């Protein structure tokens, strides 16, 4: 059991509220309203901008080149992989990258991203990567589960692009690398006495992920600039 599995087990209820959220279920069965997905996608673009800042902070917090390279890989995954997906999907609604970037942040977006950034500012590199882990690894888990459940039906599914992106090998490798790096950080900086604090941090990040899905369900149309 790696450190990620230990954290997920310790925060099992919070993790379930995130990965088994009704937004995820509806996306999987194709019943998610397009307006909810559009709201989520615009906010997730803004979310990724702040997460890019978190990986830049991880570079600053790093004390060796291996940690710096891991932070660089996370930053590249956001700027060169995830954000491109959002731009492609939002082009269907006539939304440009400039409009996405100018959209106002929802409270759920602010709450989650600033929580992660605060963990990084106030804590060390392990705190920051524990706060990042539910997002990075959780999306890989969700993507794989949905894609596996759909099987061949994924080819005609309304949310096939999103599911396929996070179930795809490129993103799965990002998640595997994130888990390995988290293990390496824990080997250097975690004591058993500290584990409960990290588990609480992981649980809070998972709850904020659930709130982010809920925001998509409750907000029918995004505001764009």
What amino acid positions are annotated as catalytic residues? 135, 209
> Are 82 and 50 in contact, with CB atoms under 8 Å apart?
no
Tokens of 49: 């901008």
> Are 209 and 135 in contact, with CB atoms under 8 Å apart?
yes
Nearest to 222 by CA among 14, 19, 54, 34: 34
Token look-up 């919070």 returns: 14
Nearest to 51 by CA among 101, 102, 116: 116
The DSSP string of 95-164 is --HHHHHHSPPPHHHHHHHHHHHHHHHHS-HHHHHHHHHHHHHHHHHHHHHHHHHHGGGGGG-TTHHHHH
Residue 59, CB-side half-sphere exposure with 13 Å CA sphere: 12
């Amino acid at each position: 059991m790696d450190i990620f599995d230990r954290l997920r087990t310790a925060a099992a209820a919070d993790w379930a509220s995130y990965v088994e959220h009704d937004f995820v279920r509806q996306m999987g069965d194709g019943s998610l309203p397009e307006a909810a997905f559009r709201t989520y996608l615009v906010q997730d673009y803004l979310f990724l901008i702040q997460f890019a800042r978190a990986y830049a902070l991880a570079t600053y917090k790093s004390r060796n080149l291996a940690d710096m390279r891991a932070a660089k890989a996370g930053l590249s995954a956001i700027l060169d992989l995830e954000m491109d997906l959002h731009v492609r999907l939002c082009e269907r609604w006539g939304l440009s990258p400039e409009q996405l970037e100018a959209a106002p942040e929802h409270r759920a977006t602010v709450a989650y991203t600033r929580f992660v950034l605060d963990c990084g500012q106030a804590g060390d590199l392990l705190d920051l990567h524990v706060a990042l882990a539910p997002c990075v690894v959780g999306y890989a888990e969700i993507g794989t589960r949905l894609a596996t459940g759909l099987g061949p039906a994924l080819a005609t599914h309304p949310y096939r692009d999103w599911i396929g992106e996070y179930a795809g090998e490129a993103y799965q490798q990002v998640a595997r690398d994130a888990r390995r790096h988290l293990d390496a950080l824990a080997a250097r900086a975690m004591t058993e006495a500290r584990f409960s604090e990290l588990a609480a941090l992981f649980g809070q990040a998972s709850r904020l992920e659930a709130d982010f899905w809920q925001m998509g369900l409750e907000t029918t149309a995004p505001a764009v600039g």
